[in-house]
Amino acid sequence: MRRGEGHNGYSALIRQLAVAVRRGLPAQEVTSVLSEDTELETKAREGLAKLGAALAAGDSIPAAMEKIPRVFAPETVRWMRVAEQSGGLATALEALAADLGRQDTEARTVRLALIWPLAVSWAMIAVFGVVGLFVMPAFKELFEGFGVELPRLTRITFAGSGLLFGLPVLALLLVLGLAQFRLPAAISDPIDNALDALSFFRRFRRARFASRLIDLLRAYCGNGEVLAASIAHLGATAEAPSLSNAASRLRTAIASGTSLSQALAGEPALPRRFSLYAQLGEKMHDLPAALSDLSEMAEIELRERPCASSAARSW
């Protein structure tokens, strides 16, 4: 699911579709029942209706997901198609549901962490607004009453006093737009790159990326083709261009037949620990066990690097 689209309802829907596939229940029965959930958000309800209509018309689950491009990225649909062709659609749906649920939980965590910074931002906007709209014009009128030419720097300050209110508002709207809507890449990519320059954002994003990656590795460590397709989904839904590029490099390495440990070792955006545990798993012929331990470490890392506490330390 692409960033900027609400996950509410979709994680549960995909999970129930996975159960239906395992039990042999027609997928449209799931959408028919869940469509009666009156607490779904409007976008989720509309998406569910489109999905149900496509399934009722005889489309496969991946083909039906393709009918909602604003929700499911093309890479996500391709992942489901590859999994369906290999006979593992139910497993892929379960992995997708878990990934959507993780994204939703982490997004709520970030929103809660931003409550205090946003409150401070609104207070600053109010202060700048009062200064720009009332204080600076009064000083300007006072100094002009002296009948002398003011210094150039003073004139520039008075002329730009309106920006004291406009710039903070513009900055806040831009941040909210980046978080809530799909801005054009020409706008979102420079902002994401700038946020990556802040160490606490970079560490938190990489921890989230690593945790999602480990979940996919655990699900598909024995199927390189489906694993490569799932990592393409990860790259399409990553938060920063640097992480999307990391997923692309990793997918290319795995698709070319490179062993998992070597592919992880060749990716500088990932901790060295990833390749070491994968190497141990390959030597012991038990990758799932090694990746399970790695998953626990990734969860701890994610909990220890929350955006709020890191931001507070940096302040």
The verdict on residue 109 lying in a domain is no
- Supply 312's token pair: 């507070």
Answer yes or no: is 213 within a domain.
Answer: yes
Burial of 76 (0-12, 13-18, 19+ CB in 10 A): buried
Is 275 a member of any domain?
A: yes
Same domain, residue pair 215 and 308:
yes
Domain shared by 74 and 120, yes or no: no
Do 91 and 121 lie in a common domain?
no
Assigned token pair, 137: 């014009």
User: Distance from CA of residue 223 to its chain's centroid?
Assistant: 25
77, 128: one domain: no
User: Is 2 part of any domain?
Assistant: no
Number of domains in the chain: 3
Task: Let me know whether 36 and 135 are in one domain.
Answer: no
69 part of a folded domain: yes
Tens digits of per-residue pLDDT, 183-232? 566 666 676 666 666 677 777 788 888 889 998 998 887 788 999 999 99
Q: Does residue 309 or residue 20 have the better pLDDT?
A: 20
Range of the domain at 211: 199-314
Q: Express each pLDDT in 98-108 by its tens digit.
A: 998 888 776 66
Write the CATH number for 92: 1.20.81
Per the model's pLDDT, the better-predicted residue between 45 and 21 turns out to be 21
Same domain (yes/no): 214, 302: yes
Both 90 and 56 in a single domain?
A: yes
Decide which of 162 and 250 is more confident. 250
Kindly state whether residues 262 and 237 are assigned to the same domain: yes
Q: pTM to 2 decimals? A: 0.73
Residue 167 covered by a domain: yes
